[in-house]
A and B are shown apart, each in its own frame.
Chain A
Amino acid sequence: MKIDELRKKLKIYGTLDNEDRLNILVTLYSNPDISFSDLARTVKIDKPLLAYHIGLLRHVGLIESKYERSSKKMTKYRLSGQALKILKELRIAKKGKLLRKTAKLGSKAIS
């Protein structure tokens, strides 16, 4: 693997080496297009800190956000293709589905 690729992976795995962020990722896998408030309720993290984790996950390319103007304006979050690849690499997800045991973790806090 080239050094640039290794550094990119270092940033991704370093970002994931945090319980809260891993929990956010697993939650987004089970609940794509979730709003910020719903995500905060599910993962039970303070909103300012959650904003930081989301910003960081988005920065390294693991999540994507979409601003929607339907009944009310809100930003929704989902995993990127890169994140799905990583979850498979980590054997947390397989063939587009979370492993059964992991899915249970995604619906509540991982710890």
Chain B
Amino acid sequence: MTDLSMKYKERIHKKLLELERKVKGSYITVALLGAGEAKINERRKIQQKLEKDGIVTLIPEDDFPEFAPSLFEEAILEKADIDLVFINVESWGTVAEFAHFYDKGNIAPKLRVLVHYYYHPLYGTSKSYLTDLYLTYLAKYGHVYAYSNRRGMFPTPKKIIATLARRYRELKFLGKI
């Protein structure tokens, strides 16, 4: 790296630290994966909420429209500096994504899996293969969260994502991550 580029990097980093101190939170980037067209508005609402809090929130279909998700998502999640990837397993597409990522060493630790409580291995009654896969993931990495679409015994996806992203940002700010 040249001295000049070092100088710019330092200038940017210094400015970033100053801003982080002022907002009392770190810069984090999260991605929201979920069912396509039918439920994308739900993800957009969550995105609005997080963005307002200063959390960069990406929705692949909106932010990378030029590229087919199946061709580049894995490369991105593996190499890019995304902090958290929330995946709401609610369609065949997201089932395929989860099955593909669940044991990839560089992606799995970033994954936060949201499943309807019926399919959750501890709270639900489903005996499906997918529920069994959630149990494997839960035992190895943790981070399988049961949700309900209505307020009740389980929180909504919006509540889970916002709560976890905010706490992650605080932990990063305190240097605990």
Query: Given A11-B27, A18-B81, A51–B16 Cβ distance below 8 Å?
Result: no
How far is it, in angstroms, between the C-alpha of A30 and the C-alpha of B119 when the chains are bound?
53
Do the beta carbons of B54 and A7 come within 8 Å of each other?
yes
User: In this assembly, does B80 line the interface, its C-beta being within 8 Å of a C-beta of chain A?
Assistant: yes
B56 touching A56 by the CB < 8 A rule? yes
Which of B8, B22, B52 is A90 in contact with, Cβ under 8 Å? B8
Majority SS of interface residues in chain B? Answer: helix
A3 lies within 8 A of B23 (CB): yes
Question: When each residue 64-75 of chain A gets 1 if its CB lies under 8 Å from chain B and 0 otherwise, what string results?
Answer: 000000000001
What sequence of 0s and 1s flags, for each residue 30-72 of chain B, a beta carbon within 8 Å of any chain A beta carbon? Answer: 0000000000000000000001111010100001101100011
Q: A48-B72, A75-B66 are in contact. Are A13 and B19 (CB under 8 A)?
A: yes
Q: Is A38 at the interface (CB under 8 A from chain B)? A: no
Contact digits for A19-48, partner B, Cβ 8 Å, 1 yes 0 no: 100100000000000001000000000101
Say yes or no for B12: interface residue by CB 8 A criterion: yes
Instruction: Give the A-B contact count at a CB cut-off of 8 A.
Output: 106
Measured as residues with beta carbon below 8 angstroms from the partner, the interface class of chain A is: 35 or more
For residue B166, give the distance in angstroms from its CB to the closest CB of chain A. Answer: 12
Determine whether B128 belongs to the interface, using a CB cutoff of 8 Å to chain A: no
B51 to chain A: which residues have CB within 8 Å?
11
A54 to B132, CA, bound (A): 38
A96 interface residue per 8 A CB criterion = no
B16 touches A13 (CB 8 A): yes
Q: A60, B56: Cβ atoms under 8 Å?
A: yes
In the bound complex, residues from chain A placing their C-beta under 8 Å from that of B19 are 6, 9-10, 13
Say yes or no: A11 contacts B54, CB within 8 Å.
yes
Binding site for B on A (CB under 8 A): 1, 3-4, 6-11, 13-19, 22, 36, 46, 48-49, 51-53, 55-56, 58-60, 75, 90-92, 101-102, 105, 110-111
- Can you report 16 A-B residue pairs in the complex whose CB atoms are below 8 A from each other? A3-B23, A9-B19, A10-B20, A11-B54, A13-B19, A13-B27, A15-B27, A15-B56, A22-B12, A56-B63, A75-B66, A90-B8, A90-B11, A102-B8, A105-B2, A111-B2
Ranked 7 nearest A-B pairs via Cβ = A14-B27, A7-B54, A48-B75, A48-B72, A111-B1, A55-B63, A13-B16
Q: Which residues of B contact A (CB under 8 A)?
A: 1-2, 4-5, 8-9, 11-13, 15-16, 19-20, 22-23, 25-29, 51-54, 56, 58, 63-64, 66-67, 71-72, 75-76, 79-81
